[in-house]
């Protein structure tokens, strides 16, 4: 579609400059070429549009009708063929179509369209008033003004965004970089400055005063390595935090440990390479061993004490242990003979005599004599 204009002196804009203040009201979607036709018509008063079929000429005329009606103008659309006028009428939007009075050939279709147009105009005027129309026009005009302002803002934002791709950036007061150079430098120094949080929001003023900055640097200088480690550590999960009772119990245990001599029994450990699981296993074994010890019986405690020391007394206990093991092996074999040869009373009497001999033998000579020497007849 080609636009040919006639300069009538009405144009107040320089060539190539768009009229941003011109009020263009369109009832249908328009492309830049169709908007140009309307601007040329407002500026020159006459426009010639040329183009083959299907290039949007009828669409443009329909938009012109709406634009000119908004300016309180009457429009005459003329054509040498009635079919072209019918196409233009069909392109006009429905609310304005009834205002189009068709004057075609003297056929029934033309008369019918004329009657429909008059009927539509009368019906519309009967259902509204000038006050209602003025209020609606004012409401739509305000809405359109807001949309135009928003459109202008977005247009400026897009322009500035595109311009920022080419504007130089001033760094450190005197260094100028293009956006491409700045992006390359950021990529090159990414690893060195990756600790900086981002994106950093632009703020015209520093939120901290000079006194606040000095105080912050003084605090950082007083931080110890342990303080820094705590600050850099992550917060624990809420589910892992103990309840107040459990926390109080752990704190009391730590307090009691501080009051105890933790070096007690240090010589019992051959090395410090023990895990918590190994210590627990050792504790379970000690608990199991002590469960069978009768701490109320003095001779058991003496036996345990002798076993810890390398002395002559230990040999007497070892002889006793061997003698008890031998008796445990012989008794089942001799049990039948004892039951047959002696009565139950005699067996108990002989057992008490044997135990008395054994006790006297262990107590004599500070438990250093052999149990067999204490009772030579016991072996028989």
Residues 334 and 325: their CA atoms lie apart, in Å, by 15
Does 204 have pLDDT greater than 50?
A: yes
Residues 38 and 73: beta-carbon distance below 8 Å: no
Asked which of 124, 144, 162 is the last residue of a domain, the reply is: 124
Q: Which residues pair with 4 in a beta bridge?
A: 48
> Last residue of a domain, which of 174, 193, 212?
193
Region 25-52: what's the mean pLDDT?
A: 85
pLDDT of residue 267: 67
Q: What percent of the chain has pLDDT over 90?
A: 6
CA distance 196 to 186: 12
Do 6 and 115 reside in the same domain of the chain?
yes
317 vs 21, higher pLDDT? 317
Confidence of residue 346 (pLDDT cuts 50, 70, 90): low
Note whether 342 and 356 are within 8 A (CB).
no
pLDDT tens-digit profile of 39-64?
888 888 888 888 888 888 888 899 89
CA distances to 78, 88, 355 from 103, rounded to whole Å, are: 10, 13, 147
Q: Looking at 246-250, 269-273, 323-327, which range is the least confident one? A: 269-273
pLDDT of residue 377: 45
Scan for tokens 């504790």, then name that residue. Answer: 283
Please list, in sequence order, all residues whose beta carbon lies within 8 angstroms of the beta carbon of residue 23, skipping any fewer than 6 positions away. 70
Type and span of the H or E element at 171: strand 169-171
Name residue 171's beta-bridge partners. 175
Does 52 lie in the same domain as 111?
A: yes
* Domain match, 58 and 158 both: no
Domain that residue 162 falls in:
128-193
SS3 assignment, position 167: coil
366: confidence class by pLDDT, cuts 50, 70, 90:
very low
What pLDDT score does 129 carry? 82
Task: Assess if residue 94 is contained within a domain.
Answer: yes
Q: Does pLDDT of 126 surpass 90?
A: no
As a whole number, the mean pLDDT across the chain is: 76
Q: Among 102, 124, 146, give the residue marking a domain's end.
A: 124
Q: Is the pLDDT of residue 342 over 70?
A: no
Residue 206 domain flag: no
What pLDDT shows up at residue 273?
75
């Amino acid at each position: 579609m080609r636009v040919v204009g006639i300069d009538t002196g009405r144009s107040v804009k320089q060539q190539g400059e768009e009229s941003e203040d011109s009020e263009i009201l369109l009832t249908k979607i328009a492309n830049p070429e169709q908007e140009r036709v309307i601007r040329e018509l407002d500026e020159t008063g006459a426009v010639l549009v040329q183009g083959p079929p299907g290039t949007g000429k009828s669409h443009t005329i329909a938009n012109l009708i709406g634009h000119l009606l908004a300016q309180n103008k009457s429009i005459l659309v003329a054509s040498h063929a009635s079919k072209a006028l019918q196409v233009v009428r069909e392109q006009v939007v429905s609310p304005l179509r009834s205002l189009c009075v068709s004057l075609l050939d003297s056929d029934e279709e033309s008369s019918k369209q004329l009657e429909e147009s008059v009927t539509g105009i009368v019906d519309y005027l009967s259902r509204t008033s000038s006050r209602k129309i003025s209020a609606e026009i004012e409401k739509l005009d305000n809405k359109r003004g807001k949309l135009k302002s928003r459109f202008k803002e977005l247009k400026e934002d897009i322009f500035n965004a595109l311009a920022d791709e080419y504007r130089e950036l001033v760094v450190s007061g005197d260094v100028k970089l293009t956006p491409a150079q700045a992006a390359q430098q950021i990529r090159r120094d990414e690893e060195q400055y990756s600790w900086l949080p981002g994106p950093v929001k632009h703020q015209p003023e520093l939120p901290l005063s000079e006194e606040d900055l000095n105080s912050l640097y003084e605090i950082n200088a007083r931080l110890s390595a342990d303080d820094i480690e705590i600050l850099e550590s992550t917060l624990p999960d809420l589910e892992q935090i103990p309840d107040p009772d459990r926390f109080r119990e752990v704190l009391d245990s730590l307090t009691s440990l501080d009051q105890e001599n933790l070096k007690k029994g240090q010589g019992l450990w051959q090395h410090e390479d023990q895990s918590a699981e190994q210590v627990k296993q050792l504790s379970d074994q000690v608990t199991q061993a002590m469960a069978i010890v009768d701490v109320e019986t003095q001779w058991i405690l003496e036996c345990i004490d002798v076993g810890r020391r390398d002395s002559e007394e230990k040999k007497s206990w070892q002889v006793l242990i061997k003698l008890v093991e031998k008796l445990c092996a012989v008794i089942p074999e001799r049990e039948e003979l004892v039951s047959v040869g002696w009565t139950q009373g005699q067996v108990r009497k002989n057992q008490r005599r044997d135990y008395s001999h054994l006790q006297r033998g262990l107590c004599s000579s500070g438990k250093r004599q052999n149990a067999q020497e204490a009772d030579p007849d016991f072996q028989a």
